Structure 1
Amino acid sequence: MSTTDPGTVERAFAAALYADDDTALDTGASLLAADPGTDAELARRGRELVAALWRRGWQPADVVRMVRRDLAEDHVRLVCDLILAEAGPRPGRQEPRTGPGAAAGGRRWAAQLAELEPAPPYRGDRFTRATVVLELYRLLLRLPALEPLHDPRPRPAAEDPGRGEPASRMLGRIRALLAKAEATGYPEEAEALTAKAQELMARHSIDEALLASGGRGGGGPAHGGPGACRIGVEPPYEQAKAVLLDAVARANNCQAVWNEPFCFSTVVGYEAELEVVELLYTSLLVQATSAMTRAEAAIRKAGGRRRTKTFRQSFLAAYAHRMGTRLTETTEHQIAEAKAETDGEVLPVLASREAAVRAETDRLFPRTTTTRLRGVTDEEGWRQGREAADRARTGRAPGLPGR
C-alpha cells in the first residue's frame, strides 16, 4: 500500500503557492511528482479550497470563468472535477450539498453544476499534472471575496398552485422565439422574432408583479424580494457588452453592476426579470455579433477599408445604446396597456418593485463608480451598429399573432 510523508504536500505548497516564479512552481511540482501517495491529500485540499470560495461569495460558473480566462483547458477540467466532488452525490444533479445555493433554493446553483462534466482520467506524466494542480490552487487561493448572492426564494407550490406551469410555458415561448431569431439567415425575420420575444418578456414581468402583489388572482403579498445573478461579460469588446447588458437590465426593471476585473456583471431584480434579462442579453449578443460580421463582409465586398477593433467596438456600443432605447419603449408600451386594463393598479406595484431593486442594489454595492466607454471612435461602426439596433425593433411585430 502506498503511503506518503504528511509533510510532502505542505512543503510543496510552501514552495509554490505563495510565490510567483516558475522556479518555485517547479520545486513544488517535483516534490509532488516524486511521491504518488500525495494524490488523495491533494484532492482533499482542492475540495477545501473550492468550499472556501463558496464561503467568500463565489459560485461555480464564476470560478470556471476565471480559471478559463487565466489558465488553460487542463486547469478547467481539474477545477470542474473539484467542484463536482465538493458538491457530493447529486442524484439527477439536484442542488449542491454545501454553499449558499443550498440555503436559497439553489436553482441557479444546481443549473451551474449541471453544466459541468467530469474530466476523463489523466494519462500524462506526474510532474506535468502536479504543475497544473499547483497553478490552479495558486489561483484559487488568491481570488478575493465577492458579494454573496442568493437566488430569490420562490413561492412554495402548495401556496401558489399552478403558477409555475404558465410561467414555464411563457419562458419556453420566449426561448423558442429567440432561438429562431439567432438561427435565421434573414434579418427581417430575426427582427420580428426578437420584437415578439421582448413584448412577451415585458408582459410576463408585469403579470408576475401583479400576481405577487395579489392582483389578477394572486395569493397575497410577495413572499420574497429581489435576488441577483452574475452574467459573464468577457473580452473582446467587454465594455460594449456590459453596456448592452445594462440596457437589457434597465428595460426589464433590473440593475446591472459591472465587475470588469472578473469578467461579469451582477444583475439585481426579481426572479421573472432575471430570467428574461439573461435570455435576451445572450440572444442580442449573438444577433449583434452576426450583424457586425455581415456589415464587415459587405464593406469588404464593396472594396472598402478593412475593419478594425475600433469599428467593432463602435458598432457594438451603438447597438447597445440604441437597443436600450428601443427596449425601454417596448416596456413602456406594455405598462401603458396594463395600466389601462387594471385601472392604474399596476403602477404602484411596479414602483414598489423598482424601489426594492434599487435598495437591494445599494445594499450589495454601497460604493460604485461610473466608467467612460473607450474606443468608440469609428463613425462608420457607430452608424452601422445603430442601424442594426433600429432593425431589431422592439414594438409589436407585424405579421405575428398577439399574446
Structure 2
Amino acid sequence: MTAFGIARDRGADVAEMADRVMAAASAWSARRRPHAERLIRRLVADTQSGYDRDCAGWAVLSILTERVATAFEHGWQPIDLHRFVTRSTKEPAAALLGDAMAYHLRTFARATVDPDWWTQMEAIDATSWWPDHESYPAARGARDAWPETVRAAVELVATIWGVPRIEQIGPLPGHALPSSRGSSSQVDARVLERVRALLAKAESTTFEAEAETFTAGAQSLMARHSIDAALLAATAPTSEGPGLRRVGVDNPYEAPKVSLLSGIASANSARAVWTKDLGYVTLIGHRDDLDAVETLFTSLLVQATAAMAQHGQRTDERGRSRTAAFRRSFLVAFAHRIGERLREVVDAEVATVAGERAGTTGADLVPLLEERREAVDHAVDEHFPHLRAARATTVSDGEGWFSGQAAADRASLTGGGAVEGRP
C-alpha cells in the first residue's frame, strides 16, 4: 500500500496504518463487529499525536482512492458509488468517499473526463475542498471528530471493497475525447428547456385541468423531439446508437416507482432494467429519448407523491393502519394509467407527423421508429443477456388503486438481480 508519494518520509508508518485499517474493515465486513470496534478503538487511541493521525489519514485516503479507481474500472460512476454508500452507511462515510473520488479524478486532465462525471461530482458536492495535498488529513480531522472519522473510514472501506462489476457507461477517466463530449443531437436543444418549463408549471399549479394540459404538452413535445431525431438520423446517419443511463430508485415503494419509470421508458422507445440489490434502474435508449424519460419521471414522481400525500393516513374497519398498502396500490395504479396515457399521446403525435411529412421525407416514419426500437432491443440483449421479467407488483387495496388511477388521469404529462421493469 502506498500513499501516492505524498509522504515518502513516513511511508512505512502509513503502510502500517493501512494494514490496521484493513484489518478493522475485514472484521467489519465479516460481521465481527465487536472485534472491529476493538480494532477501531485501538487505532483511535494510537493516533492522538498529529504525526500518527496524519499517517492514518493518508492511509485511509490511499486505500479509498485505490478502491474508487477499481470501482470505476468495474463500471461504477461517481453518482452510483455515492448512492450505494448512502444506502448502507452514514455521514461522514459519504463525505470520505467524495474526498477519495475527487482526489482520484484530479490526477486526470479535466478534458479527458466525461463532462457527465463532473456534473455528478457537483451534484453530490464531492470536490477537492482542502487547500493542498499535504493538508488533507489535518483538514479532514478538523472537520469531523476523529473517532467518528476512523469508524466511518473502516465502514466505508468494508462497503466498497467488493463492489461487483456493472455495465460500463461511457469512457473511463482519462479516455474521454473532445469529440465525444456533449449531446450528439442536432435537434433544437431548446425543446427540453420548454419541456422542463411545462413540467414545472404542472407541478406547481393547484388546478388539475391545467396540470393535465401542461403534462400532455410536454409529452407531445418530447415525442416530436424524438421523431425529429429519428428522421434526422435517417437522412444524416451517425455512429451513435442506443446508450445506457442509470437512475437511482429507492424505497419506500421501489417496485411501483420502477413500474412508473418502465412505463415512461416504453412510451418513449426506451427500455428499463432494474438492478434491485444495488438500487438503480438502467435505461437503454437513444440520447434524446433518455433525456425525455428522466425528465418526465422526475416530474411525475413528484406529482404522484403529492397526490398520494393528500389522502393522509388510512385505516381499516378495525382501526389498523393500511397506509402502506394504500400507497403501494396507489402508485401501482398511477404507473399503469400513466403508461397508457403516454402511449396515447405518442401514438397521436406519430400519426400527426406522419400526415404532415407524407411524401416529403423519403422515409416511412413508422418503420423508421420501429428500427430504432429494434436497435434498443438489441442493446438490451447485448448488455443484459440473462435478463428475466420482473414479477408484477400485487395490489391489495382497492381504494388505493382507484385513487391512483384518478390521480394519473389528472397528472400533467408535460411535464435482486437485474430484472426488466414492467409498465
8 Å contact kept, 1:330–1:395: no
Matching of residue 201 in structure 1 with residue 209 in structure 2: no
- In structure 2, do the counterparts of structure 1 residues 278 and 155 end up closer, same or farther at CA, with 3 Å as the change threshold? farther
Matching of residue 387 in structure 1 with residue 406 in structure 2: yes
Matching of residue 64 in structure 1 with residue 82 in structure 2: yes
Q: For residue 273 of structure 1, what is the aligned residue in structure 2?
A: 289
5 Å-filtered alignment, 1:114-193, equals: 114-117=122-125, 118=127, 121-123=140-142, 124-150=144-170, 164=186, 167-193=188-214
TM-score relative to the length of structure 2: 0.81
Structure 2: state its 5+ residue gaps.
1-6, 47-51, 130-138, 416-423
Q: Which amino acid aligns with 2:299?
A: S
Q: Which amino acid aligns with 2:285?
A: G
Q: For residue 29 of structure 1, what is the aligned residue in structure 2?
A: 40
Tell me how far 1:89 sits from its aligned partner: 6.6
Q: Describe the SS at the equivalent of 2:250.
A: coil
Q: For residue 136 of structure 2, what is the aligned residue in structure 1?
A: none
8 Å contact kept, 1:310–1:375: no
8 Å contact kept, 1:192–1:393: yes
Q: For residue 88 of structure 1, what is the aligned residue in structure 2?
A: 106
- In structure 2, do the counterparts of structure 1 residues 125 and 393 end up closer, same or farther at CA, with 3 Å as the change threshold? closer
Matches of 1:49 and 1:155, distance apart in 2: 27
Q: For residue 91 of structure 2, what is the aligned residue in structure 1?
A: 73
Number of aligned pairs? 372
Q: Describe the SS at the equivalent of 2:170.
A: coil
Structure 1: state its 5+ residue gaps.
215-219, 397-403
Q: Describe the SS at the equivalent of 1:257.
A: strand
Q: Which amino acid aligns with 1:116?
A: I
**What does the per-residue CA deviation read over 1:234-273, in whole Å, with 9 as the maximum and x for residues that have no partner?**
1000000000000000000000001111111100000000
Aligned Cα root-mean-square deviation (Å): 2.9
Q: For residue 16 of structure 1, what is the aligned residue in structure 2?
A: 25
Matches of 2:203 and 2:258, distance apart in 1: 20
Q: Find runs of 4+ consecutive structure 1 residues off by over 3 angstroms.
A: 1-4, 118-125, 153-157, 304-307, 393-396
Q: Which moved more, 1:166-175 or 1:121-130?
A: 121-130
Q: Which amino acid aligns with 1:131?
A: R
Tell me how far 1:122 sits from its aligned partner: 4.2
User: Whose RCO is larger (CA < 8 A, sep 6+)?
Assistant: 2
Q: Which moved more, 1:330-339 or 1:118-127?
A: 118-127
1:324 counterpart (335, 339, 352): 339
% identity of equivalent residues = 36
Q: For residue 61 of structure 2, what is the aligned residue in structure 1?
A: 43
Q: For residue 381 of structure 2, what is the aligned residue in structure 1?
A: 362
Q: Which amino acid aligns with 2:73?
A: R
- In structure 2, do the counterparts of structure 1 residues 54 and 199 end up closer, same or farther at CA, with 3 Å as the change threshold? same
Matches of 1:46 and 1:15, distance apart in 2: 14
